């Protein structure tokens, strides 16, 4: 017990080492939040293009581009994407935070797109017909009739995607960013002690994920109630 | 073509691949008519109805609606659809909106009605079909018959010139068919132009001003209900009636 206390002080208190974790956590949350926004915008756009093509046969070229995007992003590791973005695409641009946000946003967008597309396709075809028969255009029907229902159906899956995204940002140390994971690793390199800082990092992720998951569960319950 | 003509349909064809579902249909629908369309399943009667507001894109022929060829590309079909109401077999109410919202969204967004105007119009129609107390309910809280009555008044909120009914009672429990047919009869009495695909021969006989018998994509016979039911000419109609009556 005494040893535990000494280790704790050495790893977290001495030289204010806990600040590595605090600042790292801030970075993790910042990356997750902004990447999520990009992911939502991009994902919805791609989903609408893809489902429009599937339903009407229009937007053929845009759909082909979207398919390519999904294949490439979902077919390569996120770490590799991050390295390519940092060392190749944005080689002359050295704000790694922005590069990481863009990369994670583009990455997440691919997964969001497939979730939202499945939501759109799950809405009964009669809904589109009813909207169109009233005189709404395709776009208006999507906006007023299809998307609100699709969004509601996929909210839990979307929330899960952002939990995945939160954990995914832990690879940003590869381009020199100090997020929560990197913060813990820096402590390890200072104190030559792996157990405590890394377990602390894992615990912080776990607490965030458990909290978010319980929010998703609550959300799912709420949505089920309003269906009756 | 007289001023009273609503639809003039010339050589309407619809093919799914090799299969010709509608085979050169010619007919005219006058204002105020209640045209009932009957025929065996798979005969193309629903496809015919759904072609009239281009939910099915015809592959040949033309459809003149109030003198305009709506099949011509470049025509704004949304404008015409505002005047062609449609009631579906499966109601297709918007489940995420209250009944009132279901009925007001299209007039507000498309006709520019204010919220007050749209709601007072909707409430008057709800009153008429005896469902005013359901204004704030959601579709999932209604019975099938109630849903279909709402679907009819939702279409009426756009003040259409014609209403298309695609088997409006086929998805209903038997005890709910009557309440929907009552609303339709009431509309017919008011002079609403209606095209009704249905298996309700009683309704066809009582309310129809004309009955079309469609089989294998063609109008095989058309006549007043009394003549068509009591004195069928073609063999196909005779055998069809023998099965359903």
pLDDT digits (tens, 9 = 90+) for B135-144: 999 999 999 9
Give the model's confidence band at A80: pLDDT under 50 very low, under 70 low, under 90 confident, else very high.
Answer: very high
Averaged pLDDT, B222-244: 93
Would the pLDDT of B123 be above 60?
yes
Would the pLDDT of A227 be above 80?
no
- Smallest CA–CA separation between A125 and chain B, in Å? 9
- Closest residue to B81, CB basis, from A132, A149, A227: A132
pLDDT at res. A225: 60
The answer to whether the Cβ–Cβ distance between A126 and B140 falls below 8 Å is: no
pLDDT at res. A139: 93
The answer to whether the Cβ–Cβ distance between A134 and B155 falls below 8 Å is: yes
- Closest residue to A133, CB basis, from B53, B90, B96: B53
C-beta atoms surrounding A121 within 10 Å: 15
Would the pLDDT of A190 be above 80?
yes
Which residue segments constitute the domains of chain A, with CATH numbers given? 2-227 (1.10.3720.10)
Numbered residues of chain A with Cβ closer than 8 Å to any chain B Cβ = 124, 126-127, 129-137, 140, 144-145, 148-149, 152, 227-228
Mean confidence (pLDDT) of chain A: 93
pLDDT at res. A149: 92
pLDDT at res. B75: 79
Interface test with A, best of B49, B81, B98, B171 (most A CBs within 10 A): B81
Averaged pLDDT, B217-245: 93
Numbered residues of chain B with Cβ closer than 8 Å to any chain A Cβ = 53, 55, 78-79, 81-82, 84-86, 88, 90, 92-96, 105-106, 109-110, 140-141, 154-155, 158
Give the model's confidence band at B90: pLDDT under 50 very low, under 70 low, under 90 confident, else very high.
Answer: very high
Would the pLDDT of A107 be above 60?
yes
- Which phi and psi (to 5°) does residue B163 adopt? -120, 130
Rounded-to-integer distance, Cα A160 and Cα A156, Å: 6
Would the pLDDT of A87 be above 70?
yes
- Smallest CA–CA separation between B131 and chain A, in Å? 19
Question: How far is residue B223 CA from its own chain's centroid?
Answer: 19
pLDDT at res. A226: 56
Give the model's confidence band at A211: pLDDT under 50 very low, under 70 low, under 90 confident, else very high.
Answer: very high
pLDDT at res. A222: 80
H or E element that contains B35: strand B34-38
Rounded-to-integer distance, Cα A197 and Cα A181, Å: 9
Please list every residue in chain A whose beta carbon sits closer than 8 Å to the beta carbon of residue B94. 127, 130-131, 145, 149
- CA dihedral for A83, A86, A91, A96, sign (positive or negative): negative
Please list every residue in chain A whose beta carbon sits closer than 8 Å to the beta carbon of residue B79. 135
C-alpha pair distances (Å), A122 with each of A116, A127, A151, B5, B44: 10, 11, 11, 40, 27
pLDDT digits (tens, 9 = 90+) for A6-65: 888 888 888 888 999 999 999 999 999 999 999 999 999 999 999 999 988 889 999 999
C-alpha pair distances (Å), B56 with each of A195, B29, B67, B213: 67, 19, 20, 20
C-beta atoms surrounding A95 within 10 Å: 9
- What single string gives the DSSP state of each residue in B67-134? TEETTSTTS-HHHHHTTEEEE-TT----TTS-HHHHHHHHHHHHS---HHHHHHHHHHHHHHTT-GGG
Contact at 8 Å (CB) between A82 and A171? yes
Give the model's confidence band at B89: pLDDT under 50 very low, under 70 low, under 90 confident, else very high.
Answer: very high
Interface test with A, best of B95, B103, B163, B165 (most A CBs within 10 A): B95
Give the model's confidence band at A163: pLDDT under 50 very low, under 70 low, under 90 confident, else very high.
Answer: very high
Per the confidence metrics, is the pTM higher than 0.90? no
Would the pLDDT of A104 be above 80?
yes
Contact at 8 Å (CB) between B34 and B188? yes
Tell which residue, B193, B163, B168, B188, has the closest CA to residue B178: B168
Give the model's confidence band at A103: pLDDT under 50 very low, under 70 low, under 90 confident, else very high.
Answer: very high
Would the pLDDT of B207 be above 90?
yes
The answer to whether the Cβ–Cβ distance between A133 and B86 falls below 8 Å is: yes
Cβ neighbors of B68 (< 8 A, separation 6 or more) are B75, B80
pLDDT at res. A10: 86
């Amino acid at each position: 017990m005494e040893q535990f206390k000494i280790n704790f002080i050495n790893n977290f208190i001495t030289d204010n080492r806990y600040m590595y974790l605090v600042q790292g956590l801030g970075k993790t949350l910042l990356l997750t939040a902004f990447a999520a926004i990009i992911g939502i915008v991009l994902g919805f756009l791609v989903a609408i293009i893809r489902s429009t093509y599937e339903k009407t046969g229009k937007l053929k070229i845009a759909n082909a581009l979207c398919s390519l995007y999904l294949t490439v992003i979902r077919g390569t590791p996120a770490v590799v994407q991050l390295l390519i973005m940092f060392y190749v695409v944005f080689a002359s641009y050295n704000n790694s935070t922005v590069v990481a946000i863009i990369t994670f946003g583009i990455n997440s967008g691919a997964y969001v797109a497939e979730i939202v597309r499945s939501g759109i396709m799950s809405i009964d075809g009669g809904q589109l017909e009813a909207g169109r028969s009233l005189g709404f255009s395709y776009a208006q029907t999507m906006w007023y009739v299809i998307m609100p229902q699709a969004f509601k159906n996929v909210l839990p899956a979307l929330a899960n995607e952002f939990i995945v995204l939160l954990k995914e940002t832990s690879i940003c140390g590869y381009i020199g960013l100090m997020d929560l994971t990197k913060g813990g690793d820096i402590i390890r390199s200072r104190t030559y002690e792996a157990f405590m800082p890394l377990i602390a990092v894992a615990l912080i992720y776990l607490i965030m994920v458990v909290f978010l998951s319980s929010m998703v569960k609550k959300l799912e319950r709420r949505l089920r109630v309003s269906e009756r | 073509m007289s001023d009273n003509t609503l639809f003039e349909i010339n050589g309407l064809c619809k093919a799914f691949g090799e299969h010709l579902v509608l085979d050169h249909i010619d007919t005219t629908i006058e204002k105020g008519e209640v045209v009932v369309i009957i025929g065996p399943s798979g005969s193309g009667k629903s496809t015919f109805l759904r072609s009239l507001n281009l939910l099915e894109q015809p592959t040949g022929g033309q459809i003149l609606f109030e003198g305009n060829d709506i099949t011509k590309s470049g025509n704004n079909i949304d404008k015409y659809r505002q005047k062609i109401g449609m009631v579906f077999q499966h109601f297709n109410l918007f489940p995420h909106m209250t009944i009132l919202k279901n009925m007001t969204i299209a007039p507000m967004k498309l006709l520019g009605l204010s919220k007050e105007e749209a709601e007072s119009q909707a409430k008057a129609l709800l009153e008429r079909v005896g469902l005013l107390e359901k204004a704030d309910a959601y579709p999932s809280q209604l019975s099938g018959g109630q849903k279909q009555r709402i679907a009819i008044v939702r279409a009426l909120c756009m003040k259409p010139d014609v209403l298309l009914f695609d088997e409006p009672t086929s998805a209903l429990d038997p005890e709910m068919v009557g309440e929907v047919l009552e609303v339709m009869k009431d509309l017919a009495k008011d002079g609403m132009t209606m095209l009704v695909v249905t298996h309700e021969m009683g309704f066809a006989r009582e309310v129809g001003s004309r009955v079309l018998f469609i089989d294998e994509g063609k109008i095989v016979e058309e006549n007043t209900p009394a003549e068509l039911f009591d004195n069928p000419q073609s063999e196909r109609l005779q055998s069809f009636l023998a099965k359903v009556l």
